[in-house]
Amino acid sequence: MRDRAKNVVCETCHAPLATLTDPTERVIDEGVTCEACHAIRDVGENAAEPRYTFDLAANRKFGPYCDGKDNYFHRMGCAPWFRDARLCGGCHTFSMPLADGKSLPIINEYAEWRASSFSVSGTACQDCHMPPEVDHAATGSARKVRLGQHGFMGEKGDLVRKALVIVASATTRAGKLVVSVELKNEGAGHAVPSGLPGRQVVVRVQALDEKGRAQAREERTIGRVLVDEAGREVPFYAARAEKIDERIAAGEARTFAFELDAPKAGSLVIDVAWRSMSPALSEALGVPVEERSMGKIEMPFGGHRSGKGREHLPKTVVARP
Ligand code: HEC
Ligand code: HEC
Ligand code: HEC
Ligand code: HEC
């Protein structure tokens, strides 16, 4: 993507040390590595778009604690604002200039967070993305009660499962299975799916018969679609406009309606998945689509066999992360 995108400098955020150190330094290729955050000495206070000041020459590492002692490898700085969202905001804010002088937001988590109730309640990016752990910061140092977990997407990479509350209701009408699925974004401090435009959330509904064979299925997809002059979905660097933004803002909910030809008895399976990119972008970039589960509901229906837990409709099931 970097080679194809000739109009934007990608390194500012993806390899922030590129312009700051000797070009032969191997640390540059590590991208958003330890130094990229821990050498930040200051972030502008008025944080519509925070600006970073790095302190590489003094070899000082900054972090939220101020009791660190200099060691043989590096000196210690003091930066309590490492727990503020503005530390993340500068890189997690990115718009592309357009020919007509306007700009197209690409990465927008920080602005979305600022517009959400999470910024009012003081829940920073770190509170969700770097939850506290009790551990040593380094061998020989004192145990800290709060050492941010550095997985960023959860220790097991499963933070996507915490984003949505799923409420599924099903009933029958004229022989059809009528299903409503509500997705509530209660777990993310920004729109879902967040991140790179083209990410998607897919809601799949299937009616299985008693042997577990799919008899009917339907799906809906939401996300953000950026297009070129011809209206085709393209990677962000080639985009000229936003065609659709159907993402679910923080604290908001979206309802999807389905109608399936259903067997008399069986089970209804509702599957919500995160997708790394739309099929159109996957084709344009030649990169496979990756999927992760965001939650699942199974609802048996019909055939009154109480021992097996079969149930009659209508029914509502709520899945919380
Ligand atoms: C994207 C930014 C970012 C990157 C990259 C990053 N950190 Fe951190 N680090 C933080 C933040 C933010 C905190 C404070 C978290 C909190 O307490 O809520 C932190 C805390 C720490 C602490 C505890 C600070 C203290 O004073 O004891 C250590 C140690 C640390 N990081 C080491 C590392 C190392 C080593 C790497 C590379 C392997 C790394 N970090 C990469 C942002 C980052
Ligand atoms: C120096 C710029 C920079 C800073 C500061 C920064 N990020 Fe990032 N972050 C990035 C870039 C670039 C990526 C995309 C990296 C990639 O996928 O190659 C990223 C990716 C992420 C991801 C997705 C990771 C994944 O595994 O998919 C999360 C979550 C994230 N950042 C959270 C944070 C948080 C929280 C902070 C503040 C503590 C922060 N970032 C600070 C540049 C930054
Ligand atoms: C209330 C918890 C919460 C807060 C606050 C929060 N996030 Fe997230 N974030 C999530 C969850 C849950 C996901 C997974 C859902 C998704 O990918 O949209 C996520 C996903 C992400 C991703 C992944 C994008 C991708 O697809 O790789 C990035 C980047 C990110 N957040 C950055 C931030 C930044 C920057 C902030 C602060 C400005 C922030 N988040 C605040 C919970 C939170
Ligand atoms: C102002 C900062 C900034 C600039 C400039 C920037 N990016 Fe990013 N980019 C980010 C952040 C932050 C993320 C993480 C959000 C996410 O995971 O979706 C990201 C994510 C990405 C991802 C998704 C990575 C993944 O793991 O899925 C790709 C690909 C990407 N950027 C490509 C580029 C290219 C190519 C350029 C230059 C044309 C560029 N970016 C310029 C901040 C930036």
Q: Taking the domains of the chain in order of start, what are their residue ranges?
A: 1-91, 159-319
Ligand nearest to the CA of 15: 2
pLDDT in tens, 25-38: 888 889 999 999 99
User: Which backbone phi and psi does 50 adopt, to 5 degrees?
Assistant: -60, 150
Q: 230 vs 84, 196, 240, 267, CA distance in Å?
A: 41, 21, 9, 43
CA-CA distance, 181 to 259, in Å (whole number)?
A: 11
pLDDT in tens, 163-217: 999 999 999 998 899 999 999 999 999 999 999 999 999 999 999 999 999 999 9
> Which atom of ligand 4 is least distant from the CA of 276?
27
For ligand 3, is residue 125 a contact (CB within 6 Å)?
yes
**Residue 137 has what pLDDT?**
84
Residue 252 DSSP SS3: coil
CA-CA distance, 153 to 163, in Å (whole number)?
A: 11
CA-CA distance, 238 to 240, in Å (whole number)?
A: 7
Query: By the 8 A CB rule, do 188 and 194 touch?
Result: yes
DSSP element (H, E) containing 36: helix 34-38
**Mutation test of ligand 4: which of 196, 274, 292 has the most ligand atoms closer than 8 Å to its C-beta?**
196
CA-CA distance, 138 to 135, in Å (whole number)?
A: 9
Mean pLDDT of the chain: 92
**Hey, whose CA ends up nearest to atom 26 of ligand 2?**
153
Query: By the 8 A CB rule, do 136 and 145 touch?
Result: no
**Residue 307 has what pLDDT?**
52
E-strand ranges in 44-111 read 52-54, 60-61, 75-76, 94-97, 103-107
CA-CA distance, 54 to 137, in Å (whole number)?
A: 22
Instruction: Give residue 318 CA to ligand 2 midpoint distance, Å.
Output: 31
**Whose structure tokens read 């503005």?**
86
CATH architecture of the domain with residue range 159-319: Sandwich (2.60)
* CA neighbor of 104 nearest in space, from 236, 9, 200: 236
Ligand nearest to the CA of 185: 3
pLDDT in tens, 145-166: 889 999 999 989 999 999 999 9
Query: By the 8 A CB rule, do 227 and 240 touch?
Result: yes
**Mutation test of ligand 3: which of 14, 86, 121, 129 has the most ligand atoms closer than 8 Å to its C-beta?**
129
List CB contacts of 85: < 8 A, sequence separation 6 or more.
47, 110, 113, 114, 119, 124, 125, 126
